[in-house]
Amino acid sequence: MGNPSSSLEIRSRRWLGYTVLVVFALISLGPMWIAAKTALSDSRTLFTGASSLLPQDPTLFNFERVIGLVNPADPRLQQTSFGKIDFYRALTNSVIFTLLAVVPQIACSAMAAYAFARLRFPGRRLIFFLFLSATMIPAVVLFIPNFILIKDLGWLNTFQGMAAPYALMTPFAVFFLRQMFLSTPRELEESARIDGANYFSIFFRVVLPIHRSALATLTILSVLNAWNEFFWPFLVGRAENVPVMAVAINAFRSQQAGGVPDWSGLMACTVLGIIPVAILLVIFGRKVVEAFQYTGYR
Amino acid sequence: MRAPVLNAGANYIKLWNDPNFWNSMKITILYVVYNIPIQTVIGLLLAVLLARFGRSIVLRSIILAPYLIANVIAAIIWFWMLDPLLGFGNVVLHWLGFGRIAFFSDRDLALPTIAAVNIWRHMGLVALLFYTGIQTIPKDIYEAARIEGAGPWKNFTNITLPLLRPTFVFVLVTSIIGSFQVFDTIAVTTLGGPGYATRTIVWYIYQEGFVSFRMGYASTMSCALFLCLAIVTVVQMRIMRSGQSELG
């Protein structure tokens, strides 16, 4: 085993492996760095600084102007290449949309999952099977009937219209939590029942506290998903006062004030859209990574 | 949008005779072919390397990062990176002695470029799923193979690949279903163009249903897409005999 040629081979193999991993880490983060660099640069340096890895004349002006911190009379806003965007509103809208989508989603899914895991009612197998099949349906198939329903309710361009489909229809969450709830030790539930607890108090006092960690995982996944959502909010929430982050960025990109998109403004928006995700990743790093790793959520 | 009228399947006949539908199906399948094999191979490579050399959570987080940002953001960042005039990617190409390339407005390059953006976004997730699969393979199998004198490549083809089959089924089924429905990247970058070069099936459904407001015909196409995905999934499950594990 102590053979020098083979230990050399192992060492060079290890170096090769590390190098490939580092290259892919750079490929993953590099484009985001270029976006951040552009956002931090003075927009007049886009051409001269195109090949630079560091911001030119570093400034926070692009961030300030997209979230409306700059006085409209400020002479620096007179550049023809600047588009119009109220990204502060878009971020606020995304927060509202995320809360409206995630909180009811977790609550409804947890109750449904408990019912599927523990209650005995006629047709429960069939209903659960239908629920699982729903995960296979492409989103766009559901968007057409959902759109007509939301339109008939008069909910186009409202937050309730944007959040409604996410609040109730989440087969993945139900499936995931059902698997968790099935693993609850029966004795705990039985002893609570002997003490006179009904299903609701067992659910809230026994089952939910045991599965805190699974609920946290699911919440992180749902928050990320809602924060990044585009297609459905794009269909029903395009009016001036309701667009979420991704819809606002898409609309901003299609304005071409000076013949080209307002790149420095756009990159400031993308950085602001990434920051909450980055914070989540820094605080809950392991939990986020493992959530995707073990659930295969997409 | 008009009130719905029953038309005895006329939409399905229209669909069968609609060259645009077949063309967008062709574009979608081409897109899946650009997207899935490369994404799966990169994911597998990264997973093996992560399992052998880099188990740190920081490295896994970095590799997963592109998947955690919005599709729209990934698309707009690459749209900027590959801008023919000012994009960093094109500046580098220019500097390396290649000409500037208009990736998103070239008829032949637009579709592979969109596929590349999605490979960039998804490779980390695929890597993590394979990494988890590799963790479930018992270490003593490798130990036994080492005593037999098997090298790393033999280990990979004789042990890792066959034992990863359940992971393969999961990764391929979910990523192909996702890939068939590509929309966000197209909405941000090419809008189905140039010409109709990136008019995939979901983009065409969107155009028919939500731009031209022909909801009936859009529904017909989305049912066809659903059927198509169901067939693809069943065929894959059959081919890969997903129910059985080599570990028995």
Rounded average pLDDT over A67-93: 82
CB B33 within 8 A of CB A236: no
Give the range of the structural domain holding residue A24, as residue numbers without chain letter. Answer: 4-59
CB B173 within 8 A of CB B237: yes
Q: Average the pLDDT over each of A242-251, A263-272, B50-59 and give the range with the smallest value.
A: B50-59
Q: Which residues of chain B fall short of a pLDDT of 50?
A: 248
Check pLDDT > 50 for residue A2.
Answer: no
User: Is B72–A230 a contact, with Cβ atoms under 8 angstroms apart?
Assistant: yes
Asked whether residue A242 is assigned to any structural domain, the reply reads yes
CB A35 within 8 A of CB A55: no
Q: Does one domain contain both A120 and A46?
A: no
**What values do phi and psi take at A107, rounded to 5?**
-65, -50
Q: Does one domain contain both A39 and A96?
A: no
- How many residues are present in chain B? 248
- A 39-78 → B contacts, CB under 8 A: 46-47, 50-51
User: Is B80–A289 a contact, with Cβ atoms under 8 angstroms apart?
Assistant: no
Residue A181's nearest CA partner among A135, A265, A114 is A114
User: Is B58–A227 a contact, with Cβ atoms under 8 angstroms apart?
Assistant: no
Tell me the C-alpha distance between A199 and A206, whole Å.
10
Supply the CATH classification number for the domain B10-239.
1.10.3720.10
User: Is B210–A147 a contact, with Cβ atoms under 8 angstroms apart?
Assistant: yes
User: What's the CATH number where A92 sits?
Assistant: 1.10.3720.10
Instruction: Give ipTM to 2 decimals.
Output: 0.89
Q: Does one domain contain both A153 and A53?
A: no
Asked whether residue A53 is assigned to any structural domain, the reply reads yes
Check pLDDT > 70 for residue A189.
Answer: yes
Q: Does one domain contain both A148 and A244?
A: yes
Q: Total domain count for chain A?
A: 2
Residue A294's nearest CA partner among B169, B125, B168, B176 is B125
CA distances A291 to A216, A269, A288, Å, are 10, 27, 5
How far is the alpha carbon of B108 from chain A, nearest alpha carbon, in Å? 23
Quickly count: other Cβ atoms within 10 Å of residue A198's Cβ.
9
**pLDDT the model gives residue A230:** 94
Tell me the C-alpha distance between A170 and A161, whole Å.
16
Domain end residue (candidates: A39, A59, A79): A59
Q: Does one domain contain both A109 and A158?
A: yes
What sign results for the dihedral spanned by CA atoms B54, B167, B30, B71? negative
Asked whether residue A184 is assigned to any structural domain, the reply reads yes
Q: Does one domain contain both A202 and A160?
A: yes
User: Is B59–A25 a contact, with Cβ atoms under 8 angstroms apart?
Assistant: yes
Structure-token match 């099949």, residue found = A133
Asked whether residue A78 is assigned to any structural domain, the reply reads no
Residue type, B99: G
Q: Does one domain contain both A45 and A178?
A: no
Per-residue DSSP letters for chain A?
---HHHHHHHHHHHHHHHHHHHHHHHHHHHHHHHHHHHHHS-GGGTTTTTT-SS-SS--SHHHHHHTT-S-TT-GGGG-TT-----HHHHHHHHHHHHHHHHHHHHHHHHHHHHHHHH---TTHHHHHHHHHHHTTS-HHHHHHHHHHHHHHTT-TTSHHHHHHHHHH--HHHHHHHHHHHHTS-HHHHHHHHHTT--HHHHIIIIIHHHTHHHHHHHHHHHHHHHHH--HHHHHH--STT---HHHHHHHHHH--TTSS--HHHHHHHHHHHHHHHHHHHHHSHHHHHHHHHHH---
Rounded average pLDDT over A23-46: 91
Tell me the C-alpha distance between B80 and A260, whole Å.
11
Q: Does one domain contain both A161 and A41?
A: no
Asked whether residue A71 is assigned to any structural domain, the reply reads no
Q: Does one domain contain both A261 and A225?
A: yes
CB A124 within 8 A of CB B217: no
Structure-token match 């976006």, residue found = A35
Q: Does the beta carbon of B123 lie under 8 angstroms from any beta carbon of chain A?
A: yes
How far is the alpha carbon of A197 from chain B, nearest alpha carbon, in Å? 40
User: Is B86–A50 a contact, with Cβ atoms under 8 angstroms apart?
Assistant: yes
User: Is B86–A137 a contact, with Cβ atoms under 8 angstroms apart?
Assistant: no
Q: Does the beta carbon of A28 lie under 8 angstroms from any beta carbon of chain B?
A: yes
User: Is A138–B187 a contact, with Cβ atoms under 8 angstroms apart?
Assistant: no
Q: Does one domain contain both A186 and A45?
A: no
Q: Does the beta carbon of B184 lie under 8 angstroms from any beta carbon of chain A?
A: yes
Asked whether residue A261 is assigned to any structural domain, the reply reads yes
Domain end residue (candidates: A19, A40, A59): A59
Q: Which of B39, B60, B72 to mutate to test the interface with A (most CBs of A within 10 A)?
A: B72
Q: Does the beta carbon of A129 lie under 8 angstroms from any beta carbon of chain B?
A: no
**pLDDT the model gives residue A295:** 67
Domain ranges of chain B: 10-239
Check pLDDT > 60 for residue A1.
Answer: no
CB B90 within 8 A of CB B101: yes
User: Is B226–A137 a contact, with Cβ atoms under 8 angstroms apart?
Assistant: yes
Q: Does one domain contain both A116 and A201?
A: yes
> Apex CA B81: angle with CA A260 and CA A243, to 5°?
60
**What values do phi and psi take at B179, rounded to 5?**
-65, -40
Residue of A nearest to B172 (CA): A296
Residue of B nearest to A232 (CA): B184
Asked whether residue A192 is assigned to any structural domain, the reply reads yes
pLDDT class of A238 with cuts at 50, 70, 90: confident
- B 19-78 → A contacts, CB under 8 A: 42, 45-46, 49-50, 52-54, 57-73, 76-78
User: Is B81–A245 a contact, with Cβ atoms under 8 angstroms apart?
Assistant: no
Buried b (16+ CB within 10 A) or exposed e, B74-107: bbbbbbbbbbbebbbbbbebeeeeeeebbbbeee
**Helix/strand/coil for B206:** helix
pLDDT class of A298 with cuts at 50, 70, 90: very low
Asked whether residue A76 is assigned to any structural domain, the reply reads no
What residues have CB less than 8 Å from B29, skipping those under 6 apart?
none
User: Is B233–A136 a contact, with Cβ atoms under 8 angstroms apart?
Assistant: yes
Q: Which residues on A lie below 8 Å from B129 (Cβ)?
A: 293, 296
User: Is B86–A263 a contact, with Cβ atoms under 8 angstroms apart?
Assistant: yes
> Apex CA A248: angle with CA B199 and CA B186, to 5°?
15
A81-99 pLDDT, tens digit per residue, is 787 888 999 999 999 999 9
- Which two structure tokens, joined as six digits, stand for B246? 């080599």
Residue A266's nearest CA partner among A278, A279, A254, A280 is A254
**What values do phi and psi take at A3, rounded to 5?**
-55, 120
Q: Does one domain contain both A269 and A174?
A: yes
Residue A272's nearest CA partner among A22, A92, A78 is A92
Q: Which residues on A lie below 8 Å from B60 (Cβ)?
A: 289, 293
Q: Which residues on A lie below 8 Å from B188 (Cβ)?
A: 249-250, 253
